[in-house]
Structure 1
Amino acid sequence: MCFFSVDEDHVVAITNGGGIRASIDAGAITKNDINTVLPFGNTIAVVYVTGEELLEVLEASTFCTPSAIGGYPQTSGIKFTIDTTKPYQQGEAYPDSTYYAPAAITRVTIESINGKPFSLTDTYAVVANNFCAAGGDTYYRFLSASEQFDTGIVMDEAVMEYVSEVLGGNVTADKYGDVRGDQTIIR
């Protein structure tokens, strides 16, 4: 059963890289490992945005790529390219933020969403942490989402449940050792 108000092929996930504090090696995974990776107690939220708003989020959160920033998007379901040979066109500052909206979308293109064509006008459900959903880091555009809700599910607990129930407490290199290839950076 799906609790989203969009088709499953319009559901994606984004979290800010700064919220992921460590890596996990292949092998047995403990609750302590997960807490080391996700120490902030964030909950899982869902925001509904148009393709145009999603594109703005990606443009804003990659503004300094290839340099590192905590807001860099870790994604699932979004195949996109960042062209760092083009400068970020800085617009107005986001309210109460040290980050700036893009004046234009020049660096990021979205090739597909869950293998389907991307549309600027379609509505997408973005599963994110509550920090990003509240406009943290470079995710200010999520505040203008047509709808959003916090599930109350704590991220580290959800990940641990997945590791325990789906993976049997073990992360294997054959399943998670390869780069997914959903993000391309042109330098």
Structure 2
Amino acid sequence: MIEVLYLFGEILYFEPIVQFLYGHTTTFIFFMVLLVNFVRTSRGSCYPLKKEQAHEVLILSLVMSVSYAIPMPFDYIYWLSEERSVYIPNTPYMVLDILTILFIYSFVKIGTSLGELCRFYLTVGLGVNASLFFLLQLDLLLIHEGLKESGFWWFWTVFSYGINGSDLIMVLVLVVQKDFLGWYKLSEKIKGAYSRP
């Protein structure tokens, strides 16, 4: 049941607002990363990165910030509505993650190694998120159709840690701008091993 409070004589639905704000903490963090990278590009020669590298990271930060901000109005309307659908909770996030990957590879021009590094980490993070959203949506559909019991399942914990962990990795790579997990170096070694005759 939705908790109703009154603020200045108006009805205020407190529970949906708290769930909405808590659910979009990552969106706020990506916006802050965008601001940090904007400051880095505007400082010019004070920052050790070349202008082109800083500009590419800024564009990737903008894409991620917009991608995470797009579902905000729809989420708020969904939490306030009485109608619930078994397809709504996770499918839009999965589709948006896939569309963000396609947008990054189709429209964002990357020419530096730092841009490649950030794009690689963002692709892995968004791919993990999309896969987890797909698996969770599949689980909800199986429960809805009666093909699976609706008890606690270990995957829900994996989903929570996986989504938050991949979001944290994407934020860190846009701020730190280093291959701190060694994934990019490993992928380059694998590419080099496959390209040898």
Structure number with higher relative contact order (C-alpha < 8 Å, ≥ 6 residues apart): 1
TM-score, normalised by the number of residues in structure 2: 0.24
TM-score, normalised by the number of residues in structure 1: 0.25
Per residue, is there more helix in 1 or in 2?
2
Greater CA radius of gyration, 1 or 2?
2
